Amino acid sequence: QNSMVLSAAIFITLIGLIIYLHFVKIDQESLLVIGSLGIFFFKESTTFIEMGQVKDVVINEAIHMQKVIYYLCILLQDPRDPQGVSEVVPLFQSSKPRLDCLIEVYKSCQEILEQSKTAPQSS
């Protein structure tokens, strides 16, 4: 009797896992930052943002239901107002990496942005 219940539970779990894997698409997103050129963001298509348009890269937070979600954003500089932001471009919306992963990407982006902002001045 118990083995029949256990077998049915395992069978139902396997069927549920197969259905989940069939309907859930696993997305892959990549970010390539080249200080002298710009930022490439790869998802289903490639997005390029010229480095001159980038004001900053920040980690933003949002509250969804009962939890806080963190995501990386690129702030685009407003061409009419050098102090303003014209657009916020969120990254990694499908993959939703953990905060510790976002912090590593953020630090790398900040290093490259700092280098690209100081490089033209030293020329």
Cα separation, 38 vs 34, in Å, equals 5
pLDDT of 9 over the 80 cut: yes
pLDDT score recorded for residue 25: 64
pLDDT score recorded for residue 74: 94
| CB of 108 closer than 8 Å to CB of 31 | no
- Alpha carbons within 13 angstroms on the beta-carbon side of residue 48 total 5
Q: For residue range 49-102, list pLDDT tens digits in order.
A: 998 899 999 999 988 888 889 999 999 998 888 888 999 999 988 888 899 999
Side-by-side strand order, sheet with 85-91: 54-64, 67-77, 85-91
| CB of 116 closer than 8 Å to CB of 99 | no
- Confidence band of 123 (pLDDT split at 50, 70, 90): very low
| CB of 71 closer than 8 Å to CB of 90 | yes
- Confidence band of 14 (pLDDT split at 50, 70, 90): confident
The arithmetic mean of pLDDT across residues 31-35, rounded, is: 87
